Amino acid sequence: MLSEHLPILPIILPLIAAPVCLLIPGRNGGWLFATLVSAISLVVSFVLLNRVLAEGTLSYAMGGWPPPWGIEMRLDVANAFVLLAVTLISTAVLVYAQKSAGHEIDRDKQGLFYTAHLLCLTGLSGILITGDAFNLFVFLEISSLATYTLVSLGSDRRCLTAAFRYLVMGTIGATFILIGVGMLYMKTGTLNMLDLAEQIARYDSSRTINTGLAFIMVGVSIKLALFPLHLWLPPAYTFAPSAVSAFLAGTATKVAVYVMMRFIFTIFGADHVFHEMGMDLILMVLAIVAIFKCSFMAALQHNAKTLLAYSSVAQIGYIVLGISLVSMSGLMAGILHIFNHALMKGALFMAVGAVFYRVGSVEIKAFSGLGRQMPWTMAAFTVAGLSIIGVPLTVGFVSKWYLVSGALEQGNWIIAALVLLGSLLAIVYVGRILEAAYFRRPDDTQSGTAAVKEVPIGMLIPMWVLVLANVYFGIDTSLTVEAAQQAALSFAQDSNWQEATR
């Protein structure tokens, strides 16, 4: 009996857990509870992914009312896959947070931190599983509000201005999405995603619908930090608590990319969006600029977290580039990178957070000599860094491989070359930190240097779980590649995609 309700558990569990978490006294009570809930969600999403791969799309009618009169939850391979990534990162970060957030956040706000994390998880899961466009907006706002709260819990006062800027830009984005959905509703009379697709297909071309598409695309682009609407991201990731940066980098923007894919492929139809509206060219150009400008900016930074933040925007550029190739392989590469990048960035931010825990600073010069003093942390950083660069045997290599082959399939040598060039820039920014860690002596001017120790095991374990996942899924790519391919296929089927660019 429980199994028929499984599709909604990833939303309902954290939704009920969050208010309960508020009432739990003591700092570790909230942590334990939140971690348990997240772990259960992780197990459930794994089961759901397998079920969807075996049985096909799952549908659940909320309130018992059939869609389009009621709200439908719809799980296909695409969102099940992203859900797995989100719950995995959430659980790993929560284990990590006991020490990390315990150190960086005031005692009396710890309970609120875990409550906000659960709310964010609720929101993200809701966005992924829902099949109703307005319901998506509601859960988007739940996750956004929780995110603003999480960012503002940082210790540096700049987290406040970062959170405020994020709030203003994020709300503008959400309002644009609301305007777009309104325009779609006006022409079709429905909010259910599949129903919208059917109704929209009846119009050959409509100014209202196209404007609606444009507004939704802009709104979603703000949320996924597509260049040039990415300005909120570097300060937010830099000044948020380390555990929050690790969580957000792996989840929030990826879910927004999923939303973009859902609107493009399932609701509007790929032919319409790419060929009639020319979105493929716009997205491709923006993606390439994102990759280069932001990799370049990353290479210039002194602050390791800001460096990773810019790197994240660049990596999102890779994902969007995959989408803009308008081919099955490109789309598949993009979806694969959603999962892989979550693994990479989660590990990297955790490593940097570990340095902050012991050294108290994330300036690159603070990394000097840590290769010897914090060997496990820096080893983790090294492997994850190699993954970002795209060295073979890591997931980063797998994503880049599929992206490059997707580009070559279309005879697009330029794009393939640009992707490889981007990897070179990644070598620069990853290299700067590795150089400081392994090839410099510890900074003698650091006050009262008791020898810097390694971080507690509670922080090392989740870090290394993600790092090992990086390597495991880089070698045995069967699950992730199959899921990404099925996901791309299901998007293509939704779209009645005429072209087969093989």
Partner 1 sequence: MAELIDLVLLGMLAATALRVIFLRDLFAVVMLFGIYSFLSAAIFVSLDAVDVAFTEASVGAGISTVLMLGTLALTERKEKVTQHKSWLPLLVVITTGGALIYGTLDMPPFANPDNPVHHHVAPRYIEQSPQEVGLPNMVTSVLASYRGFDTLGETVVVFSAAVGVLSLLGIRRRREPASGLASESDNTGQADLSESDPGLRAHEVLRVIAKLIIPLILLFALYVQFHGDFGPGGGFQAGVIAAAAFILYALVFGIGSGFQVVSPNVLRWLTPFGVLLYAGVGVLCMLMGGQFLDYNVLASDPVHGQHYGIIAIELGVGITVFAVMLNIFYAFTSQTERVGQ
Partner 2 sequence: MMSVVLDYYNYWIVVFLMMTGFYVVISANNLVKKVVGLNIFQTSVFIFYISMGKVAEGTAPILAEGVEAYSNPLPHVLILTAIVVGVATTAVGLSLIVRIKRAYGSVEEDEFQDQDDLI
Contacts to partner 2 from residues 114-153, by CB under 8 A: 134, 137-138, 141, 145, 148-149, 152
With CB cut-offs between 5 and 8 Å by kind, which of partner 2, partner 1, none does residue 421 bind?
none
DSSP state of 293: H
CA count, 13 A, side-chain hemisphere, 312: 36
On whether the CB atoms of residues 254 and 218 are closer than 8 A, the answer is no
On whether the CB atoms of residues 72 and 129 are closer than 8 A, the answer is no
With CB cut-offs between 5 and 8 Å by kind, which of partner 1, partner 2, none does residue 457 bind?
none
Contacts to partner 1 from residues 210-239, by CB under 8 A: 210-212, 214-215
Using the contact rule CB under 8 A, the part of the chain among 27-35, 105-113, 249-257, 428-436 near partner 1 is: 105-113
Buried b (16+ CB within 10 A) or exposed e, 475-486: eebebbbebbbb
Of 119 and 426, which CB lies nearer to partner 1 in the complex structure?
119
Of 185 and 401, which CB lies nearer to partner 2 in the complex structure?
185
* Partners of 192 in the β-ladder: 132
Of 142 and 484, which CB lies nearer to partner 1 in the complex structure?
142
- Minimum distance from residue 184 beta carbon to partner 2 (Å): 11
Rule CB under 8 A: choose which of 36, 59, 185, 446 binds partner 1.
185
Q: Can residue 379 be called a binding residue for partner 1 (CB under 8 A)?
A: no
Of 183 and 469, which CB lies nearer to partner 2 in the complex structure?
183
Q: What's the CA gap between 79 and 383, in Å, rounded?
A: 28
With CB cut-offs between 5 and 8 Å by kind, which of partner 2, partner 1, none does residue 18 bind?
partner 1
401 Cβ contact partners less than 8 Å away, ≥ 6 residues apart: none
Type of residue numbered 355: V
- Minimum distance from residue 20 beta carbon to partner 1 (Å): 7
Of 276 and 482, which CB lies nearer to partner 1 in the complex structure?
276
Rule CB under 8 A: choose which of 23, 43, 186, 408 binds partner 2.
186
- Minimum distance from residue 299 beta carbon to partner 2 (Å): 21
Type of residue numbered 158: R
With CB cut-offs between 5 and 8 Å by kind, which of partner 1, partner 2, none does residue 112 bind?
partner 1
Q: What's the CA gap between 277 and 265, in Å, rounded?
A: 14
Q: Can residue 164 be called a binding residue for partner 2 (CB under 8 A)?
A: yes
Site string for partner 1, 52-81 (x = CB under 8 A): --------xxxxxx--xxxx----------
CB atoms within 10 A of CB 12: 14
| Cα–Cα nearest to 121, from 102, 156, 97 | 97
Question: DSSP letters of 405-461?
Answer: HHHHHTT-HHHHHHHHHHHHHHHHHHHHHHHHHHHSPPPTTSTT-PPPPPPPHHHHH
Q: Can residue 126 be called a binding residue for partner 1 (CB under 8 A)?
A: yes
- Minimum distance from residue 30 beta carbon to partner 1 (Å): 12
- Helices marked H in 152-241: 158-188, 193-201, 207-224, 233-239
- Minimum distance from residue 130 beta carbon to partner 1 (Å): 9
CB atoms within 10 A of CB 67: 20
On whether the CB atoms of residues 254 and 322 are closer than 8 A, the answer is no
Q: What's the CA gap between 10 and 12, in Å, rounded?
A: 6
Using the contact rule CB under 8 A, the part of the chain among 4-12, 416-424, 445-453, 471-479 near partner 1 is: 4-12
In degrees and rounded to multiples of 5, residue 60 shows phi and psi of: -140, 125
With CB cut-offs between 5 and 8 Å by kind, which of partner 1, partner 2, none does residue 301 bind?
none
Rule CB under 8 A: choose which of 20, 39, 47, 379 binds partner 1.
20
Of 106 and 476, which CB lies nearer to partner 1 in the complex structure?
106
Q: What's the CA gap between 225 and 206, in Å, rounded?
A: 28
Of 239 and 274, which CB lies nearer to partner 2 in the complex structure?
239
Rule CB under 8 A: choose which of 95, 116, 267, 352 binds partner 1.
116
Q: What's the CA gap between 7 and 289, in Å, rounded?
A: 38
Of 116 and 370, which CB lies nearer to partner 1 in the complex structure?
116
55 Cβ contact partners less than 8 Å away, ≥ 6 residues apart: none
Rule CB under 8 A: choose which of 40, 47, 109, 155 binds partner 1.
109
Q: What's the CA gap between 249 and 233, in Å, rounded?
A: 9
- Minimum distance from residue 116 beta carbon to partner 1 (Å): 5
174 Cβ contact partners less than 8 Å away, ≥ 6 residues apart: 137, 140, 141, 144, 219, 223
Contacts to partner 2 from residues 166-185, by CB under 8 A: 167-168, 171-172, 175, 178-179, 182, 185
Residues that bind partner 2 (CB under 8 A): 134, 137-138, 141, 145, 148-149, 152, 157-158, 160-161, 163-164, 167-168, 171-172, 175, 178-179, 182, 185-186
Residues that bind partner 1 (CB under 8 A): 5, 8, 12, 15-16, 18-20, 22-23, 60-65, 68-71, 108-109, 112-113, 115-116, 119, 122, 126, 132, 134-135, 138-139, 141-142, 145-146, 148-149, 152-153, 179, 183, 185-191, 195, 199, 206-208, 210-212, 214-215
